[in-house]
Chains A and B, each alone.
Chain A
Amino acid sequence: MLTHAPGPRLRRARGIETPARAHRWACRAVVLASLGAASGAACAFTATLTAAAPKAIYLQIGAGTFTGGNYTPIKGNGQPTGTPGKNTTVNTVSVSVPAASVGNGTAQTMTTDSSTSTSFWDGYSFCNPPQQLYIGGFYRTTGNGTGSISLIATVPASLTDGAGDSLPFSQISWTSAGNGDGNIAQPFPAGSFTSTSLNVGTIGQNQWAESCWTFSYSNSTVPAAGTYTGVVLYTLTAP
């Protein structure tokens, strides 16, 4: 049956036949020849699928933005209620150590100015500010892999005051939990700023991951009186 197809194509190939027209002639030849059973896909129109923007990441440390509401509930048309957006807020975690307690080795719980308690996934009250800081995000990619991406914290060696005094960043640590999570392993587990570049957790392929961190100052040194500050930069990168 297919041997009929080259006829019109060859004849027209001597002239000014274009590939598209040649294909159509081939198609018609097959149709004419296929008065019996259904023939192959010679007469098929084709849609060439290509993944557009196949990768996406979302990271939220403290405040975040979803426009239009939380991600769920899913609307009747199958689309999420809210969509992730950009939030440039830099939240602070701090503690004031009473003069009488400075350097006594009793850890001081730190608090955050972030008021984020709910997860944008479903609006669930997941963290308890000001004791806990929300940390979460997602990683979108095509393919059937089981990979993950790491969240990297870039940390200065020390916190500093305006007078040139410093305080090791390693004095600060955190625990990790989340309301309703019980004792399950957190995607962003407990740790401390022991290095200037830290892997503080991972997000699996096509997953949403979130934890709540409670920071603590170990209070095991006696620095000069002052206000010490430092900025930690969190970076999430998709390959």
Chain B
Amino acid sequence: MSFTLRRMSRLWFCIIWLLAAPAFAKTTVIDDSGTLPYNAALAMRWAQAVPRGGDGLLMVGQLQLRLHLNVAPFQHHTGRIFLVLPMQQPGGMSASWTTAGRLLPGAVQSGGRTLVYSGPITTPFIEDTVQLTITVDGRRMLGTYPVNFRFEIDED
């Protein structure tokens, strides 16, 4: 292979690598281990006292979190942060939340994710107080279920 061809191959390799790199680094789980409480017990109660009507089978629980996201690895970058509620037992869940303003309020269904922040990451940590409400079909509540959430960032 000639010197010119070798240089061309390296150039193409670099171009392909630069194009492919963002795709590999697209979504990253954020360290939220500073969140308190990190493993919270949540008492689910009937949303309506009387079992009749469309929403008569829903159970609701509320939890206040001091959210602490370690975004230091993404500082000085721009990204979008999502709250993810993976598919898991007992199923048929949804979550909604309000915030103190640092993050966006929103709602998410099992298996989905919802945007809570978009813009430049200017600090190593993002903190907020979140009032989380979880709703589940009472017919699925046959025991105790640890429900996992996570935060993901899509770097722009």
A: residues with CB less than 8 A from B are 20, 23-24, 27-28, 30-32, 34-54, 56, 58, 71-72, 74, 78-80, 83-84, 121, 138-140, 142-144, 206-208
Question: Which residues B61-109 have CB closer than 8 A to chain A?
Answer: 61, 63, 65, 70, 73, 86, 90
- Whether B12 sits at the interface, judged by CB under 8 Å, is no
Show 19 residue pairs from A and B whose CB-CB distance is below 8 angstroms, ordered by the A residue: A23-B38, A28-B33, A38-B27, A38-B152, A41-B86, A44-B32, A44-B150, A45-B32, A45-B150, A48-B145, A49-B144, A52-B43, A71-B50, A71-B52, A78-B48, A121-B50, A139-B51, A142-B59, A208-B52
A38 & B142 in contact (Cβ 8 Å cutoff): no
A143 & B142 in contact (Cβ 8 Å cutoff): yes
Known pairs A47-B132, A49-B134, A207-B52; list 10 more (Cβ under 8 Å). Answer: A31-B28, A40-B29, A41-B150, A47-B41, A49-B61, A74-B53, A138-B51, A144-B139, A208-B51, A208-B52
Give the A-B pair count, Cβ closer than 8 A: 174
> Residue on B with the closest CB to A40?
B29
Question: Which residues B99-140 have CB closer than 8 A to chain A?
Answer: 132, 134, 136, 138-140
B: residues with CB less than 8 A from A are 24-35, 38-53, 55-57, 59, 61, 63, 65, 70, 73, 86, 90, 132, 134, 136, 138-142, 144-152
Select one of A28, A72, A78 contacting B31, CB under 8 A.
A28
Q: Known interface pairs A51-B44, A84-B50. Does A28 touch B70 (Cβ–Cβ under 8 Å)?
A: yes
Select one of B45, B86, B90 contacting A52, CB under 8 A.
B45
Q: Known interface pairs A48-B144, A49-B145. Does A140 touch B46 (Cβ–Cβ under 8 Å)?
A: yes
Which of B48, B86, B151, B152: most chain A CB closer than 10 A?
B48
B52 & A138 in contact (Cβ 8 Å cutoff): yes
Assembled-state Cα–Cα distance A46/B147 (Å): 5
B31 & A27 in contact (Cβ 8 Å cutoff): yes
> Residue on A with the closest CB to B43?
A52
Which of A83, A144, A207: most chain B CB closer than 10 A?
A144
Assembled-state Cα–Cα distance A138/B49 (Å): 10
> Residue on A with the closest CB to B132?
A47
